[in-house]
Amino acid sequence: MGIPMDDNIHAPTVASGPTSGATPRNYSKLTMPDLMQEKERIEAELSALSSVLSSHGVNMNTSLTTFDGFPRDDIDIAQVRTTRVRIIHLRNDHKDVMKYLEKGLHAHFAQLQNAQATATTNGTTVPSVASMADSSIADASALGAPFARVNSVEPRSPAEQAGLKAGDTIRGFGGVHWLNHERLSKVAETVQQNEGRPVMVKVTRKNEGAPGSTELDLQLTPRRNWGGRGLLGCHLVPL
């Protein structure tokens, strides 16, 4: 006969204070590339930890007790609770990283706007600055680094009809960009939410037989019944 457990066994208790480790990392001192690397590291660990929970058939909210209050014997409760605590810590760290990324991006745009104003005062033009002066985080993909690569494109697919080619890198997919793609999960959400409707895709393509690359704005319409699997007919991999 077992001993009934508290109903909150499934809810890990996390002490207040630093979110991870004994010594919290000072994200304010990291450069933008370092912050991006830290963001990717956190997202990769979160993905791995989510897989651990999935292997037990639970998520962050699944009860770890039976209907009559006893601990479940079909899962490793200790591992699940430890994993949940780590996920909570990492989510808090991710919020901090995103805060400093957005702050750095705003500062970058402000510098561009100041440069544009100075150039205008001096009677000169700076097209590259003028084209990038929008300080909206939603438009960060216009300046951000590529976050995905097109690994393959199926013939006669929506992706091929839109003009995507294997080797293209993606800088924007609708409202998804380098700061918020969450290892492409947001791309999948955008595809599902826009079936039958065109999605603007910002692409960087290497020039064939010449140095440099070309920036393209393509319209991709996710749809079924094109003769293959999925809504796009292409395979994207995160960078």
Domain 137-238 coded CATH 3.40.50.720: no
8 A C-beta contact, residue 204 and residue 177: no
Going by C-alpha positions, the residue among 44, 55, 83 that lies closest to residue 184 is 44
Phi, psi for residue 142 in degrees, rounded to 5 = -65, -25
| Cβ burial 63-96 (10 Å sphere, 16+ → b, else e) | ebbeeeeebbeebebeebbebbebbebbebbbeb
Q: What is the pTM of this model?
A: 0.49
Lowest mean pLDDT among 21-25, 168-172, 216-220: 21-25
By percentage, how much of the chain surpasses pLDDT 90?
28
DSSP classification of residue 26: -
Going by C-alpha positions, the residue among 141, 137, 133 that lies closest to residue 115 is 133
Which residue ranges does the chain devote to CATH 2.30.42.10?
A: 137-238
8 A C-beta contact, residue 129 and residue 142: no
With 0-12 / 13-18 / 19 or more C-beta atoms within 10 angstroms meaning exposed / middle / buried, residue 223 is: middle
pLDDT band at 160 (very low <50, low <70, confident <90, very high): very high
